[in-house]
Structure 1
Amino acid sequence: MLKRVLIQCLLWKDRRSIALCPKKTHDKQRASFAFQYIHTFNFDVGKMILRGLLFWCFSLQFRRFVLLRRYFLYEIWTFFVFYQKFSSCYSVPAAQAQEQIMIHFGPHAVRKSSIFFESSLSYGLVNLKPIVPGHVLVIPKRIAARFKELSTDEVTDLYQSVHKISSVLEPHFQASGLNIAQQDGPAAGQSVPHVHVHILPREAADFEKPDQVHEEIERAKVMDDTFSEDNRRVRTQEEMAQEATELAQLFPDEYRPK
């Protein structure tokens, strides 16, 4: 093919240099002729040879390009088809994915959508069955069954978080007081083997006796999803997530859930 391309280029460049030359006379009526190409090499011929080589190389590359183009078009088509198919099967919206992330509160798995406060070592959680409006829990991130098992840094961070949260919840719920309670050990009424602090905004007439709330705290099972004796309603995950979102807006960005 290369030889044919070069010859065509030479013939196309200077056709006047092709002559019909007699080679042999057999008789008066018959003679043999041959084409003879007579040309002196010059720069024009060199250019044409170079153009022929480039054209030959380009023709090969073009064939490869056509094949590659078909291949890549097929790959792009299959990517979009399968991406749409698999994404519809296995992907979820970002908000829904955030809700499905779990943390551990003792032996219980709690959705991260229930968190409204997060410090370096502590979480603030809304309650599944609040005793009063605004009843929340503050827990250390690390699971520790007893208060004595916490490190100094964890104790400091836990009660600094309690201080920040209680200072925000009291005016938000228009409360006139707060109950801040911790049950340490089963004998003290601790129902979940994970250190936690209750914060309850209080009003003047929310209970017949102001200290009756301690009986309610002791009787309540924080993660029990059944109805207790006082018929406190078990809230849905959507209700808890909505309250957590509202409360998170009350805190600076550094204390909002990550």
Structure 2
Amino acid sequence: MTPEGTALSATRGDVERLYGHCVLRLQAFELNLKAVVATHRFSGAIETFEDGLARRINETRRKTMGALVGEMLGSVLAPLGQEGLPDADDHTPGTSFAFSRKIALPAEAFSRIEGEHRDLVALRNSLVHNFLEEHDLLSVKGCLMAQQALASVIDRLRRAEDQIAEWVTEWARVGEILTEKLNSPEIRDWIITGRIPWPATIIVQALLDAATELAPGGWASVKTAAALVARRHPDERPENYGCRTWRQVIHKSGLFNLRSVKIDGRGHARYRARPKL
């Protein structure tokens, strides 16, 4: 073999090793992406929770990287203030529920991550379908340029890997918290009797926080507290808990004292947390 042929063979071998490295890392990235997307939301009957989750995982396994990134950007990640509520299946017989785990990001960060991941999908598709068309692997110069392109893909992929590793870790932590909540006496009682586990609800915790902030140790205005909670948690509404008003939520939860005071001849509702026994 001529010196030129030897140099080309060695350089092309380096390209092939880098290419294989890229493909394997992309597959590992897709597996982590599938783990996040498959388990970020669920709705259905409690009795069929495990079967439903397994079905969703199997469905996610068949999705392409482009579809996974699209669902991640549409459901897993959300700009702050646009998190929304999980979709519940109103036609599911028996006791049903819906949960959703999301990562809320400032608009600028969301836009940046959206661009980076869509670019990564384009890089993946180009790598798998067009690499030989785009790079001349019959010359040393072409192989060196291909190495640079692959090194760039690895660098982009490394940033995405670090990011999704953080999400997977956070997912595991949230999963532990969810398991703990599902095993709590309040949730078990809810499953058996249908009674709302008020101490575990976001709306009650938000009302507790509002009372502490608005009237430490005293009586907070229901109207003012409701406006504060609605602003901070726009998806938390009385009707989500079978109530018509905020005052009804406060009363039905059994966790607050409620009274009416006269101001300028008009009644105004006030509430405060009941002392813990």
Indicate the TM-score class for this superposition, using the shorter chain for normalisation: under 0.3
Q: TM-score scaled to structure 2, two decimals?
A: 0.19
Q: Which has the higher helix share?
A: 2
Q: TM-score scaled to structure 1, two decimals?
A: 0.20
